[in-house]
Structure 1
Amino acid sequence: MSLKKMQSSSEIPAVLVIESAKFQRRSLCRLIRAAGADRVAEAIGIKDAERVLAKDTASHWLVVADPELIGNDGIPALKALADAFPVVGTLLLSHRRANLLGELRGQAERHGLDFIAVLRKPVSAEEMGTLLLQTRRLQIPGRSADTRMRILGKEELSECLRAGGLRARFQPKVDLDTGCPVGCEAAPFVNHANGVLSFASFSQALKQLNAQRVMTASLLRDAAELVGLLRERSLGAKVAVKLGADMLSEAGDAASLDAYVRTLGIAPSDLAFEVTDGTKAASSFTFDDNLARLKVRG
């Protein structure tokens, strides 16, 4: 599938392709540019990658590499690279069969490498375009354990909500059988003076403020923006937004969600609502009725 080059977006990080074979490296760079990246650099190995990252002035980088071509220590080397430079994430590629990609994923997790997906080669322009759009708003992972484990109180979270600091970033959803991205999922975070904080840092404060619906509205706004970008480029990936059971606990919740999504300019079928465990609805009948109505609306 051919893609028109995306409009420039400062939110998409620069991309560094690490590949020893010149033909494959140049082909991958062309694919990534066609998929929408404005800045693409290339390196033949880790040492060359360090040189490129040290010289270039880009503030955020996405690294694309096949760790098995780097060597036996490919994953640790990519982790060290990400720790030393402003890398927001790593896209891992592999020639392994789809059912073996989980081994590579597990190795990356054990070494603490922040990766956005593990994909089987060759990667299509559509897959790369979808993944690049999902890297918007990715932040450089915190280097301090204190920042990552920071717990917000309800007063701090309330201030963040008033300032519009609760946003969504998007994580790829990959088919484990094929290794291909099939969509993405909205994950909430807040911009705080101490850094970017994940949902675990403010989940308790969110409950205390009874602000789950405020969070859902924020996630839906950002999801609608991403859907618009995907559809502009003829990419059919769905965007998933998680709903707590309490979001369907009152009569009319399904209609309210449907109406709100439509005000954002997208069709309900562009989204995938994933209902998670949470506060049980006061009436199981009300919950089931809302769920059925959402399904009818697509």
Structure 2
Amino acid sequence: MTQPSSLPANDFSRLKVLILEDQPFQRNVLIGALRHLGITAIETASDGAAALDALEHDPGSFDVAICDLRMEGMDGIEFIRHAVRRKVPSFIVTSAIEGSLLATAEAVVRSFGTRLIGVLPKPVNLERLKGMLSDCKKVKSEEARPARGASKPAFTAEQISRALAANEFIPYFQPKFDLDTGLPTSVEMLARWNHPSQGILPPSAFIPVMEQSGMMDWLSDSLLLQSLRCLEDWTSLGCDISLAVNMSPLTLQNTDMPNHISSLLRKHKVEPRTITIEVTETAVSENVSGLLETLTRLRMQGFSISVDDFGTGYSSLLQLTEMPFNEIKIDRSFVHGATENKKTVAIAESIVQLAKKLDLHTVAEGIETLEELEFIKQLGCESGQGYYLSRPLDNTGLITLLKNVRKR
């Protein structure tokens, strides 16, 4: 697996950490652990007010804040709400709280639009802390995964239209792995903007403007054509890899879309069974009548249809049976830290069991640790994707991965 290039694999020395802990002993344990990992830029505070004061004096410079949830006065949740506004990109919480209350607290923190890297139980486990700080480095060095509260470049519809005409939008591919064999069997196409001066930009920099300006069909066509050419490269290597394409609900509302996509595939001599169309559960909930015709016709033509981010929307079981899905993608919220939350484990188990009874293929999203991978395997999930398995790659990077797999 490729490591981010800007920070060596075991070098945490460039991270700056804020510790908020009201217990002196626990505070000293954290300081010692961070110094053991080579971190010297450490700021400490014994209460929320002092921590916020440190952020005011040095705004935007901290990479992560480690804070206790249960404190006198300003508790950890209230502090994080304020700290997000002061541009702290990532948080690790320490807590002795157990069970569903801790899970609810985590959900509240994530609702602030920030990145909660994880929960560090007391007493502090050095290896677990090290793993979480590795995630901090990803946030620090990867533009593709910015904190939602971070500043983003603003582009006009005219600028994006010119970029589309100049073919600056390119596909990246995140592999999906068979959890029994460990081999990649499919890739999910992800949109990226190869900006001439700002480098690779994530979808958040351009998708909202495209949706408002009616450019989503243009983008979908461009990326699909490029991906079909890439598919030819993978086939020439002797790899039986399928392609999953996320499609905007706006695009799927167009009832001419099934014929259009099929026409593109015929030109490239690609079988529809090689392509999976992914649609989010939220889109299904909001656009049932509009999507049903398009998805049904695509399924009849041989395409696979996947419901993405399953478990995050409010679609009924009736809709699940009516829509022509043959795959469920389990949202990462049911994967991340699931083993520490009995409710999440029960829901994840129920989703997998339901999928099996409905003869639906299951894919787990957002696998970022070995623990999460083992948990998903135990559930009986068939496929998985996430940074622990592989980060999104351009075509050159994906070909390298496929060649390395064939050498095993």
TM range (shorter): 0.5 to 0.7
- Name the CA distance, whole Å, in 2 between partners of 1:100 and 1:254: 52
**Are 1:20 and 1:45, in contact at CA under 8 Å, matched by a contact in 2?**
yes
- Residue 203 of structure 2 is matched in structure 1 by 199
| One of 62, 65, 72 as aligned partner of 2:64 | 62
Question: 1:283 and 2:290 equivalent?
Answer: no
- Residue 374 of structure 2 is matched in structure 1 by none
Secondary structure of residue in 1 paired with 2:97: coil
| Uncovered stretches (5+) of structure 2, i.e. residues with no partner | 1-8, 174-189, 208-215, 248-260, 277-382, 384-400
Secondary structure of residue in 1 paired with 2:89: strand
- Residue 252 of structure 1 is matched in structure 2 by 234
1:284–1:190 CA distance, 2 compared to 1 (3 A): closer
Report deviation, 1:89: 1.8
Question: 1:81 and 2:69 equivalent?
Answer: no
- Residue 346 of structure 2 is matched in structure 1 by none
- Residue 18 of structure 1 is matched in structure 2 by 20
**Are 1:42 and 1:49, in contact at CA under 8 Å, matched by a contact in 2?**
yes
Question: 1:45 and 2:35 equivalent?
Answer: no
- Name the CA distance, whole Å, in 1 between partners of 2:98 and 2:52: 30
- Name the CA distance, whole Å, in 2 between partners of 1:22 and 1:127: 21
> 1:123-202 residue pairs with structure 2 within 5 A?
123-135=124-136, 136-137=140-141, 141-142=148-149, 153-156=160-163, 198-202=202-206
**Are 2:168 and 2:194, in contact at CA under 8 Å, matched by a contact in 1?**
no
- Residue 93 of structure 1 is matched in structure 2 by 94
Greater radius of gyration (CA): 2
**Are 1:94 and 1:120, in contact at CA under 8 Å, matched by a contact in 2?**
yes
Report deviation, 1:42: 1.0
- Give 2:93's aligned amino acid: L
- Name the CA distance, whole Å, in 2 between partners of 1:188 and 1:129: 31
Report deviation, 1:159: 7.7
**Are 1:167 and 1:190, in contact at CA under 8 Å, matched by a contact in 2?**
no
Report deviation, 1:153: 1.9
1:109–1:252 CA distance, 2 compared to 1 (3 A): closer
- Give 1:114's aligned amino acid: T
- Name the CA distance, whole Å, in 2 between partners of 1:188 and 1:116: 24
**TM-score, normalization by structure 1:** 0.53
Percent same amino acid among aligned pairs?
19
**Are 1:16 and 1:63, in contact at CA under 8 Å, matched by a contact in 2?**
yes
1:22–1:140 CA distance, 2 compared to 1 (3 A): same
1:148–1:114 CA distance, 2 compared to 1 (3 A): farther
**TM-score, normalization by structure 2:** 0.41
- Give 1:29's aligned amino acid: I
| Uncovered stretches (5+) of structure 1, i.e. residues with no partner | 169-186, 215-245, 259-272
1:20–1:39 CA distance, 2 compared to 1 (3 A): same
1:249–1:53 CA distance, 2 compared to 1 (3 A): same
- Residue 118 of structure 1 is matched in structure 2 by 118
- Name the CA distance, whole Å, in 1 between partners of 2:31 and 2:271: 54
Aligned residues: 221
Secondary structure of residue in 2 paired with 1:87: coil
Report deviation, 1:284: 5.1
- Name the CA distance, whole Å, in 2 between partners of 1:15 and 1:188: 32
- Name the CA distance, whole Å, in 1 between partners of 2:127 and 2:61: 26
Secondary structure of residue in 1 paired with 2:116: strand
Q: CA RMSD in A?
A: 5.1
